[in-house]
Structure 1
Amino acid sequence: MALDKILSIAGKPGLYKLLTQTRSGFVGESLLDGKRVTVGMRNNVSVLSEIAIYTLEEEVPLRDVFSKMLDKENGKKTTISHKAEKIALEEYFFEVLPNYDEDRVYASDIKKIIQWYNILLDNKITDFTTEKDEEVETPSSEEE
């Protein structure tokens, strides 16, 4: 499942899988407990594929951060809890993304990223590539 079908809903814990769209919003299923929720258009909803993290040079897509975490942890859950102290969270995130902007990325953001990563792993969602990454152009023999 791609990150463009995974949602974060403000005021609700965890992550949600987009099931279907309705006239007034959409239906999502919690990746924590499997419960379904109906969310209206007025709710603040973020699609994980659209989230980026500030660095000193540019914004890095969340999928790239997750990929770096997956490499760092050898495909396992994080060695640090999202409930760890602020300093420990920042040290961990500095290992994952050394050039992140410490003034614009808060400890609460790092907590969410770690928590989301672990939820995705629990649900066996580990393919963080984009569909564009998967489309590798092969030369056509007809052009010769």
Structure 2
Amino acid sequence: MLKAILSISGKPGLYKLVSQAKNMLIVESVVTGKRTPAYAHDKVISLGDIAIFTESGEVPLREVLIKVKEKENGAVSSIDLKSNPDVLRKYFAEILPDFDRERVYPTDIKKLLSWYNLLVEKDLADFSEEKEEKTEK
């Protein structure tokens, strides 16, 4: 599921991969449903390829999103994303206690939680790995 959800640098929100062409991707906004091209020069990254720094290595974003979903019982996050950095760090420490406090910034936490909220609101919050494996076969 997360492999087909993309973040594009310089563009707000998340996008679903629709199709691939020679030098571009066709993506659809998760928010508006509008389809647009993403060219080779755009910085495009799949949410399935993102990891969060911890004291002992890296944790895939999928696992962090699962922990947020468990904490919030499948609902949107209970924290205000405009909270001060200390409140955001305290909340994130409840989800991922050993996150690297020097390399994970409050803006990263805000972005992760805003992505989580968007995926939950749009009913795309299936973070299980099994679904991804089935589509690959």
Q: TM-score range by the shorter chain?
A: over 0.9
Residues 77-123 of structure 1 show CA distances to partners (whole Å, capped at 9, x for unaligned) of 00012222211111111111000000110111001100000010011
1:48 aligns to 2:44 (yes or no): no
Shift of 1:133: 8.8
**AA paired with 1:108?**
T
Per the alignment, residue 30 of structure 2 pairs with 31
Alignment of 1:1-144 (within 5 A): 2-131=1-130
Count of residue pairs the alignment pairs up: 134
Alpha-carbon distance in 2 for matches of 1:122, 1:74: 14
Q: Where do 4+ consecutive residues of structure 1 move more than 3 Å?
A: 131-135
Bigger Rg over Cα:
1
Q: Taking structure 1 as reference, are residues 133 and 25 closer, same or farther at Cα in structure 2, changes over 3 Å only? A: closer
Q: Taking structure 1 as reference, are residues 81 and 32 closer, same or farther at Cα in structure 2, changes over 3 Å only? A: farther
**AA paired with 1:19?**
V
Deviates more, 1:116-125 or 1:82-91: 82-91
- TM normalised by structure 1 equals 0.88
Q: Is 1:81–1:114's contact at 8 Å kept on the other side of the alignment? A: no
Residues 40-91 of structure 1 show CA distances to partners (whole Å, capped at 9, x for unaligned) of 0111111000000000001000000000000000110000122222111111
Q: Is 1:16–1:28's contact at 8 Å kept on the other side of the alignment? A: yes
- TM normalised by structure 2 equals 0.92
Deviates more, 1:34-43 or 1:109-118: 34-43
**AA paired with 1:77?**
V
Give SS of 1:89's match.
Answer: helix
